[in-house]
Amino acid sequence: MPEYIVESIQDITPGFLKNLGAKGILIDVDNTLAYDNRKDIFPGVPRWVELMKAAGVKIIIMSNSFKVRVSPVAKALDLPYMTRCHKPAVKSYLKAAQLLGLSPDECIMVGDQMLTDIRGANESGIKSVYVMPVAFETNIFYKNIFKTRRANERRVIMQYNEAHGTDFDLPPQIKAEMRKEDLI
């Protein structure tokens, strides 16, 4: 269960971080900053990164993917990055916090997958922020895996809603790819 859910990373403001006593962001790439396996970064992301940097917030990219996939995104945003992190491996989260010069409780992790991004943050003493995935995974190999993953995540989102009185849900373009029985 994530500590927080946001619709998009633009909902994460310097004020949001200040309220949490956080100074740094560990952030996922695929479906958080950019379309999975594509180099195009989501609109609004470069501006968001600039605003965060201007506010003195430190950011590091933490991806389970390879350097060839992650480095163009990191370079475009001028951010430090870690690849092949094996999220939810705690070791990588602690390393990322250390690279920012912060303690784990001064960091938040932002990502679109409960099993990797959120689980590892919770186990590392790093505040977890689930961001709604933007699009359904396009990779043929992962498509069926993600039908199940997104279904499980949606159950967690519904539990979060019940606990917090919110009404978050996966976006329509993702629900359109999911099995009908998982959308009840």
Query: Which residues of this protein are in contact with Mg ion, per CB under 5 A?
Result: 28, 30-31, 112
- Please report how close the Cβ of residue 112 comes to Mg ion at its closest, in angstroms: 4
Strand residue runs (E) in 39-166 = 58-62, 81-82, 107-111, 127-131
Helices and strands (H, E) in the chain, number of each type? 7, 6
Would you say 40 and 34 are in contact if contact means Cβ atoms under 8 Å apart? Answer: yes
Kindly tell me which of 30 and 106 has the beta carbon lying closer to Mg ion: 30
Kindly tell me which of 30 and 153 has the beta carbon lying closer to Mg ion: 30
Residue 72: in which H helix or E strand, if any? helix 67-77
- Please report how close the Cβ of residue 111 comes to Mg ion at its closest, in angstroms: 6
Residue nearest to Mg ion (CB): 30
Kindly tell me which of 17 and 27 has the beta carbon lying closer to Mg ion: 27
- Please report how close the Cβ of residue 30 comes to Mg ion at its closest, in angstroms: 4
- Please report how close the Cβ of residue 145 comes to Mg ion at its closest, in angstroms: 13
Kindly tell me which of 23 and 61 has the beta carbon lying closer to Mg ion: 61
∠ CA 174-121-149, rounded to 5°:
25
Kindly tell me which of 23 and 62 has the beta carbon lying closer to Mg ion: 62
Report how far residue 8's alpha carbon sits from residue 177's, in angstroms, rounded to the nearest whole number.
Answer: 20
Q: Is the peptide bond before 88 cis (omega within 30 degrees of 0)?
A: yes
Residue 174 burial (C-beta neighbours within 10 Å; 0-12, 13-18, 19+) = buried
Report how far residue 74's alpha carbon sits from residue 72's, in angstroms, rounded to the nearest whole number.
Answer: 5
- Please report how close the Cβ of residue 11 comes to Mg ion at its closest, in angstroms: 17
